[in-house]
């Protein structure tokens, strides 16, 4: 079975040209002008952009968290991702404190295997670093889990202390992996939450006010410092603000490189949404949305090459689940739905508004994640031999985002009514048309576990 994409504007992180792409089986076999192939299915791409399938390295599917589970399964979450042009996601396995990495890996694999529609991989969140965990690091890397997530917040559930951080980084450094961090100061946040609750300050606004910028800047700096000392490859997830990015700038002054991910919501939404007492819970996530000046910092950071990846931290909860915290912000499950609209929102607000180039768009939605997380060049680019994971986008088509039409298993949209310019028409995953004209063409079980190599950036 072969597919020939004709006359599209093919954009990668470092090229931009009108040409044809020939796909055989799961891979790209030829790229050039005036290609022909007997019997191939031809897709006319005149006027369309063809880009590498998106990689979202920060999603939480069916995750046990704050007394409930995030509402997208591997099936619904990866399907929604495909509709939005994201062909591969990296989810987080959470080690249970007191248990092994292996048992968590088995639990997460059990939920994903046979259910994912799109391709997926896992980070391993180390929530309890001890002599037994230490012995498992090497094995996880051998099995394709080359990145280790740490939480510097959520004490009692996920947080590790600095002693564990040093030990983990030293072990991961020894075996060539990458350490990532949810970099916020958990003790300080817990203190502010307790103070607000004691004062009867219980609305969603106090979620925001319990996590001021300094809590993120301090932890980002501390994470960078320990990483610098141990020499490990370091990546900060969901960085939101100027203070935290300035810590990354500071690290560059001693010739350190700290990789940075932000998420689409931090570029587009701001903390004024928390003033809405009735609906503010929709955007309760950690870290919280910030200010306009932070958005400006993040857009600039992308163009300065300081912000390498735009993910989502997709962690949806139904409105009824959000209502667990209707009388107390600290009980609102943290997270929001985003997996489906990252690419179209960034294209509309970024490329179409002239903030970033199409190449930069490809870099931050796909190529950099593929390199950082060891999937390049199989994923993250358009080249001969690469997986045929491709997005065909109509750059001028308009549509409106709504919970009525999205595919995520969530009964509200964080972007309800937003009009975006640029619509994903067709998505290919490993040589198959996965989505076309709004219809899903592949079924659950098509998504494969992607075994990853070490960082290559």
Out of 182, 207, 342, 371, the only residue in the binding site for ligand URP (CB under 6 A) is 182
Instruction: Determine, following the binding rule CB under 6 A, whether residue 60 of this chain makes contact with ligand URP.
Output: yes
180 binds ligand URP, rule: CB under 6 A:
no
List the one residue from 286, 295, 321, 409 that touches ligand URP (CB under 6 A).
286
**Per CB under 5 A, does 102 bind Zn ion?**
no
**In a 3-state reduction of DSSP, which class is residue 220?**
helix
Question: Taking Cα atoms as reference points, which of 320, 244, 324 lies closest to residue 287?
Answer: 244
Per the CB < 8 A criterion, the answer to whether 307 and 299 are in contact is no
What pairing do the DSSP bridges indicate for beta strands 64-65 and 68-69? antiparallel
Question: How far is the C-alpha of 144 from the C-alpha of 450, rounded, in Å?
Answer: 8
As measured in angstroms, the least distance from the Cβ of 58 to ligand URP is 7
* Site for ligand URP contains 366 (CB under 6 A): no
Asked if 342 touches Zn ion (CB under 5 A), the answer is no
Q: Give the nearest distance from C-beta 376 to ligand URP in angstroms.
A: 24
Q: Does 313 bind ligand URP (CB under 6 A)?
A: yes
Place of tokens 């040409």: 19
What secondary structure does DSSP assign to 352-390, as a single string? Answer: TTTSS-HHHHHIIIIIHHHHHTT-TTTSSS--TTSB--E
* Two tokens, residue 386: 């690469």
The answer to whether 210 contacts ligand URP (rule: CB under 6 A) is: no
Name the DSSP class of 48: -
Tell the smallest beta-carbon distance from residue 68 to ligand URP (Å). 12
Q: How far is it, in rounded angstroms, from Cα 383 to Cα 23?
A: 11
Q: Is 335 in the site for ligand URP (CB under 6 A)?
A: yes
Question: Alpha-carbon distance 394 to 117, whole Å?
Answer: 24
Please report, as residue ranges, which positions from 154 to 213 form the binding site for Zn ion (by CB under 5 A): 182
Pairwise CA distance, residues 16 & 19, whole Å: 9
In sequence order, the β-bridge partners of residue 119 are: 88
In this chain, which of 159, 285, 343, 442 binds ligand URP, going by CB under 6 A?
Answer: 285
Residue nearest to ligand URP (CB): 334
- 119 to 138: interface string for Zn ion, x by CB under 5 A: -------------------x
- Dist. CA 72–CA 79, nearest whole Å: 10
Q: Count of residues binding ligand URP (CB under 6 A)?
A: 8
Contact code string over 230-269 relative to ligand URP, x by CB under 6 A: ----------------------------------------
Name the site residues for ligand URP (rule: CB under 6 A).
60, 182, 285-286, 313, 315, 334-335
Name the site residues for Zn ion (rule: CB under 5 A).
138, 182, 313
């Amino acid at each position: 079975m072969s597919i020939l994409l004709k006359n599209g504007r093919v954009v990668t992180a470092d090229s931009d040209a009108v040409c044809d792409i020939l796909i055989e089986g799961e891979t790209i076999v030829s790229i050039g002008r005036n290609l022909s192939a007997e019997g191939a299915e031809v897709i006319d791409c005149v006027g369309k952009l063809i880009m590498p399938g998106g990689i979202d390295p920060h999603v939480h599917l069916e995750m046990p968290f704050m007394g409930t589970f995030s509402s997208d399964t591997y099936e619904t979450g990866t399907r929604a991702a495909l509709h939005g042009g994201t062909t591969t996601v990296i989810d987080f396995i959470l080690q249970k404190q007191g248990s092994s990495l292996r048992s968590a890996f088995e639990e997460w694999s059990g939920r994903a295997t046979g259910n994912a529609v799109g391709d997926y991989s896992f980070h391993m969140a180390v929530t309890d670093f001890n002599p037994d965990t230490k012995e498992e690091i090497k094995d996880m890397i051998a099995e394709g889990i080359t990145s280790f997530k740490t939480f510097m917040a959520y004490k009692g559930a996920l947080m590790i202390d600095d002693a564990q951080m040093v030990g983990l980084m030293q072990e991961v450094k020894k075996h060539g992996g990458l350490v990532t961090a949810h970099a916020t100061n958990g003790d300080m946040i817990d203190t502010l939450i307790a103070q607000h609750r004691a004062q009867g300050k219980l609305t969603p606004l106090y979620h925001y006010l319990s996590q001021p910028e300094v809590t993120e800047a301090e932890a980002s700096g501390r994470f960078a410092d320990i990483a610098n000392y141990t020499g490990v490859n370091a990546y900060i997830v969901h960085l939101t603000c100027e203070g935290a990015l300035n810590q990354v700038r500071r690290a560059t002054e001693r010739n350190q490189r700290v990789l940075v991910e932000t998420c689409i919501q931090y570029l587009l939404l701001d903390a004024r949404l928390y003033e809405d007492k009735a609906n503010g819970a929709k955007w309760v996530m950690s870290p919280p949305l910030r200010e306009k000046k932070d958005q400006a910092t993040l857009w600039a950071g992308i163009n300065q090459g300081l912000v390498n990846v735009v993910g989502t931290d997709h962690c949806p909860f139904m409105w009824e689940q959000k209502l667990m915290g209707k009388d107390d912000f600290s009980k609102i499950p943290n997270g929001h739905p985003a997996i489906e609209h990252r690419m179209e929102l960034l294209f509309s607000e970024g490329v179409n508004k002239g903030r970033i180039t199409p190449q930069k768009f490809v870099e931050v939605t796909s190529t950099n994640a593929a390199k950082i997380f060891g999937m390049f060049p199989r994923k993250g680019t358009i080249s001969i031999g690469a997986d045929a994971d491709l997005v065909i986008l109509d750059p001028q088509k308009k549509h409106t985002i709504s919970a009525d039409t999205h595919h995520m298993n969530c009964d509200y949209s964080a972007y309800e009514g937003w009009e975006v310019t640029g619509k994903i028409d067709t998505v290919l995953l490993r040589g198959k048309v996965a989505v076309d004209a709004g219809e899903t063409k592949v079924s659950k079980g098509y998504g494969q576990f992607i075994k990853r190599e070490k960082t290559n950036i």
